Amino acid sequence: MLGAVLPGLATAAPAVEGPRVLILHSYTPDFSWTRDLHAGILSMLDTPEVRARYRVEYLDAKHHDTPAYRARLLELFREKYRTTPFDGIIVTDNHALELVARHRAELFPRTPVVACGINDRASIPAGTDDLYSIIENPAHTATLTAALRQNPGTRKIFVLVDDTLSGQSIRQHFLEQVRPLVDRVAIEVLPVQTRDQLVRFARERTQGELLYLLVYFQDGAGQVFTAEEIPRLIAASAPVPVYVAWDFQLDPAAVGGGVTSALG
Task: Convert the pLDDT of each residue in 62-92 to its tens digit.
Answer: 888 889 999 999 999 999 998 899 999 999 9
Which residues lie below 8 Å from residue 86, measured CB to CB, with a gap of 6+?
20, 21, 22, 108, 111
- Amino acid at the residue 100: V
Give the CATH number of domain 140-249; options: 3.10.129.10, 3.40.50.2300, 3.40.50.300, 3.90.190.20.
Answer: 3.40.50.2300
pLDDT on residue 244: 87
Q: What is the pTM of this model?
A: 0.73
pLDDT on residue 263: 53
Closest CA to 234 of 147, 143, 159: 159
Q: Cα dist. 152→145, 202, 212, 243 in Å?
A: 10, 20, 16, 15
Kindly report, as residue ranges, where domains of CATH 3.40.50.2300 are found in the chain: 2-135, 140-249
Let me know: does 158 contact 139? Beta carbons within 8 Å: no
Q: How confident is the model at residue 5 (pLDDT cuts 50, 70, 90)?
A: very low
Architecture per CATH, domain 2-135, reads as 3-Layer(aba) Sandwich (3.40)
Q: Tens of pLDDT along 233-244?
A: 998 999 999 998
**CB neighbour burial string for 160-199, b if at least 16 within 10 angstroms, e if fewer:** bbbebbbbebbbebbeebbeebeeebebeeeebbebeebb
